[in-house]
Structure 1
Amino acid sequence: MDPLFSPPLHRQRHQFVIDFVKMNKPKKVVDLGCSECRLLKNLKFCREIELLVGVDLNGATIRKKMHGLAPISTDYLQPGYDQLRIELYQGSVTQKDTRLRGFDLVTSIELIEHLHLADVELFSEVVFGYMTPAAVIVSTPNSEFNPLFPGLAGFRHSDHKFEWTRAEFQSWALKVCLEYGYEVEFTGVGQAPPGEQERVGFCSQIGVFHRLGERDGCNRLFGDDAEDLLSYTLLYSINYPSLQDNNILRRVLVSEVVYWAEKLKRRWMEEKTGARDGAFTLCHTEEGGEERVSEGHMDMEEKQTACGGEMKSPVQKCGRSLSEDEGEEYKEVFWTNGQEQQESCTSPRCVSVPLAVLWSCCPKVSALGGSLSNLRHLLMDDPEVKLSEDGSAVLVYNQEQDQEDEEDHSDLEDSGYAEATQCSHSAVDEEEWEAVRS
């Protein structure tokens, strides 16, 4: 029947559910009669949903299509903040299963017409009386629309046991509301041709049920103290990667910190010879870009950067900060041991990037870290990140310089380079960090 409609009728039904989810934001959703899982594949992109369940009597169909619900590579590379678990069950909608009670939304899209009328009564008891969801969406063919289909004789599908008129569907829905404490709104999808809508209605009629609050005895048929019933067979379950998982959060945070620290180090090394006083601030402007501010050309007001506070030597060499005291001669120095200094006009072996700078320059780092102290805590003991001795900065090594020094390994050992990793630096104190963050 779909070729008569644009978009196809099944997509219109699914879009109706998606729009309802976006508006009402249910966290737990189950699709009864999920078949090939098409609706579930669309609903998994709705961030509000934390638990998405599909149930179908045909286990073979589920097994054939279930892997299409698995996370893809980008879900692991760029996990979101929201949690999502997907479960697929084989079972009949006429049977009770404790795991499906208390959902926010139950959908039954073109399902009940496949049931015998006696089973429709069981369906009503299970869904509305036992599962007691906050909302239910039921769609079913409208038989009054059938004469508009050319060449159609009988039902729209060979497996249909009945097809209701609008009056028959509304009679069933209102009876359900009266018996189980719901209210219902009637609508549909699949518009009739101009001038025919009032006479024949929608091609697929839809009832949207809402539970009328908490009622005494809403589970009177089965009782809240009844034993757990596990009638369905779990065929598939998967947890999507989420930043609420501390291990995933740490992995993504470390990746961002390493990337931005290296980026700031490279930018500093590329531009340092052109900076009059050898110090500049990298931060995001209001437009979302980056800017460099040379301290040698700023007054006190200009030193208030877009990051929200005055920054002193935002990128520092291991052992000391780049300050105005270095003067116009711009002699680059880094510690090689506890007592000596060695000039390195082009390539220091170690650059110290304060966490406060990473915090101000990378919104994702600040969002993932939560706070500067928590950021430092998350980075501690991670093998991919080397922090300064006081934990206030990330130490980034110049790999090119290391490769040059490999040819003279003995000189490297004598230089005390290993001690450079333990050197202290003039870090931004907590008060300045808070000023930058604000």
Structure 2
Amino acid sequence: MAPVFSPPLHRQRHQFVIDFVKRQKPQKVVDLGCSECSLLKKLKFHREIELLVGVDINGAIIKKKMHGLAPVSTDYLQPSYDQLRIELYQGSVTQKDMRLRGFDLVTSIELIEHLTLDDVERFSEVVFGYMTPVAVIVSTPNSEFNPLLPVLAGFRHSDHKFEWTRAEFQSWALKVCLAYGYDVEFTGVGKAPPGQQERVGFCSQIGVFHRLGGRESSNVLSDDDAEDGFSYTLLYSINYPSLRDNNILRRVLVSEVLYWAEKLKRRWMEEKTGERDEAEECLRASEQRIEMEEKQTAACGARTNHPVEQCGREVLEVQEGEDEEVFWNNRKGQQESCILHRSVSVPLAVLWSCCPKVSALSGSLSNLRHLLMDEPNVKLSQDGSAVLLQEQDLEEEEEEEEDNDVEDSGYGEASQCPHSAEQEGDWEANI
């Protein structure tokens, strides 16, 4: 009975790498022989990785597929604190390039069988002797499994230079460990039919190498190594948006500040005019019902109020003066800010204390003021202690919202990039 792999064998190999990444959480990963970048496209979602590199001798196929690694719109709209840089190189795995030293993980998935045996020796020296990563995952076909594969004559791919038995693969791997200071575990993916696993092993055999001493072992660049320089050609590089980038942090912070300042202003204006829309009333009724249920079921402890509700009830009071000035007072009666010339002044202290994301992004009230000081989209009071917003009648805002509702947003015209299916090797496409 011929084996049928589910999921397909190439996906099982990739999943093996992904599971390893989830357990070990490497920060720097390079895929040798990345080809169409299909493994890299999966690894980019594991944001513990800070540097993700692909290398392949075929630069044309990298150029064809590399844009699939670019950030999408949500990466820019909702950046995280994680950092990710992706680099793609054209080059041979038998050549040294100092940019690939010191990685946490090197993967070589179905690659070495495309090399001559002499090049396999050079590959061993480059990867284990020169790059000296913390871990290496090498997969290659197991020739003992070949008789079970349907419609297979000779090697599994026309470009294969050899296909090793399990004993041959283990002999090479143990020799590498002795020469370069690693140990190795043997496993694989693609199980044989029932009753034949022990006799033929896995369809793809895998060696997982760990450097003796782990991350703490030295990886010093000698003068001779420095002379090797850069052997690879950089074809593509991209930095994913991150809140560790100060410009991106400012942009997100400004967006949050303006959103919450407008929300607080609108709440105050509703309370001042006594106007509430039906949705707001429903929300308030729902919150009151939930509060009553929590009081009935909670044995002890205090509940956390919604930030805007908490500001309205516990932090601020609003009073209107006779001279068209409105002052925000705290419970001690101390003046916080005011409305001048029909501008609403929202104190930064209120925004920082009531809006968790604003406080998380800025870190401190003084830092919040510093980050907003030179922002053209944010108008601060003269002493820099509050955000100034134009006061606008609710009726005018509602009319504008109604006008905007009938406008075409253009969303339907946005095109989406299709995802291409992977092109697999000779025999795997039919299994």
Task: Find the aligned partners of 2:119 and 2:106 in 1 and give their Cα distance.
Answer: 18
Match of 2:327 in 1: 320
In structure 2, do the counterparts of structure 1 residues 212 and 315 end up closer, same or farther at CA, with 3 Å as the change threshold? farther
Q: Distance in 2 between matches of 1:7 and 1:315?
A: 63
Quick one: distance in 1 between partners of 2:65 and 2:303? 59
Using the TM superposition, give the Cα deviation of residue 204 of structure 1 relative to its aligned residue in structure 2, in angstroms: 0.9
TM-align CA RMSD: 3.5
Where does residue 127 of structure 1 map in the other structure? 127
Alpha-carbon distance in 2 for matches of 1:150, 1:186: 26
Q: In structure 2, what is the Cα distance between the partners aligned to 1:8 and 1:51?
A: 28
Structure whose alpha-carbon radius of gyration is higher: 1
Alpha-carbon separation, structure 2, partners of 1:122 and 1:304: 63
CA offsets 1:148-179 (integer angstroms, 9 cap, x no match): 11221211111111111111111110000000
- TM-aligned CA deviation for residue 84 of structure 1: 1.2
1:378 aligns with 2:371: yes
Whether 2:343 is the aligned partner of 1:350: answer yes
Q: Paired residue for 1:413? A: none
Instruction: List runs of 5+ in structure 1 lacking aligned partners.
Output: 276-286, 292-301, 327-333, 338-348, 405-438
Aligned to 2:327, what secondary structure does the other structure show? Answer: coil
Change (3 A) 1:255 1:201: same
Question: 1:264 Cα shift?
Answer: 1.9
Cα–Cα, structure 1 residues 28 and 316, in superposed 2: closer, same or farther, change >3 Å?
farther
- Aligned counterparts of 1:249 and 1:256: Cα–Cα separation in 2: 11
Cα distance in 2 for partners of 1:366, 1:220 equals 42
Q: SS at 2:352's partner residue?
A: helix
What is the rounded CA distance, in whole Å, between the counterparts of 1:354 and 1:136 in structure 2?
A: 54
TM-score by length of 1: 0.75
Encode CA deviations 1:50-107: one digit per residue, 9 max, x unaligned: 1111100111101111111111111111112111111111111011111111111110
Contact 1:315/1:351, CA 8 A, preserved across alignment:
no
Q: Which runs of 4+ in 1 moved over 3 A?
A: 217-226, 271-275, 302-312, 314-319, 322-326, 334-337, 399-404
C-alpha distance 358-214 of structure 1, shift in aligned 2 (>3 A)? closer
SS of 1:396's partner is strand
Structure 2 segments unaligned to the other structure (5+ residues): 276-286, 292-301, 398-431
Partners of 1:262 and 1:65 lie apart in 2 by 44
Q: Say whether the 8 Å CA contact 2:98–2:225 is kept in structure 1.
A: no
Judged with a 3 Å threshold, the aligned counterparts in structure 2 of structure 1 residues 269 and 95 are, in CA distance, closer, same or farther, namely same
Q: Structure 1 counterpart of 2:389, which letter?
A: V
* Other structure's SS at 1:321 match: strand
- 2:213 is aligned to 213
Once residues 51 and 94 of structure 1 are traced to their aligned partners in structure 2, the CA distance between those partners, rounded to angstroms, is 22
In structure 1, give the amino acid aligned to 2:14. Answer: H
List aligned pairs for 1:234-245, cutoff 5 A.
234-245=234-245
Cα 1:135–1:325, aligned 2, differ >3 Å: closer, same or farther? closer
Corresponding residue for 1:366?
Answer: 359
The answer on whether the counterparts of 2:318 and 2:327 sit within 8 Å (CA) in structure 1 is no
Cα deviations by residue, 1:18-60 (Å, 9 ceiling, x for unpaired): 1111211111111000000001111111111111111001111
Deviates more, 1:317-326 or 1:225-234: 317-326
1:397 aligns with 2:390: yes
- What is the TM-score when the length of structure 2 is the normalising length? 0.76
3-state DSSP class of the match of 1:374? helix
Asked whether the equivalents of residues 313 and 321 of structure 1 are also in contact (C-alpha less than 8 Å), the reply is yes
Q: Which structure is higher in helix share?
A: 2
- Higher relative contact order by CA 8 Å / sep ≥ 6: 1 or 2? 2
Is the contact between residue 314 and residue 357 of structure 1 (CA under 8 Å) also seen in structure 2?
no
- Using the alignment, how far apart are the partners of 1:369 and 1:211 within structure 2? 41
For the Cα contact (< 8 Å) 2:339–2:345, is it kept in 1?
no
* Paired amino acid for 2:11: R
| Cα offsets for 1:372-428 (capped at 9, x unmatched) | 111111111211112223323222212448979xxxxxxxxxxxxxxxxxxxxxxxx
Aligned residues: 364
Tell me how far 1:312 sits from its aligned partner. Answer: 3.6
Q: 1:65 to 1:180 in 2, by over 3 A?
A: same
- Quote the residue 1:256 is aligned against: 256
Using the TM superposition, give the Cα deviation of residue 304 of structure 1 relative to its aligned residue in structure 2, in angstroms.
9.9
Q: What secondary structure does 2:375 align onto?
A: coil
How far apart, in 1, do the equivalents of 2:220 and 2:260 lie? 60
Aligned positions of 1:263-342 closer than 5 A: 263-273=263-273, 311-313=314-316, 319-321=326-328
Q: Which amino acid aligns with 1:374?
A: N
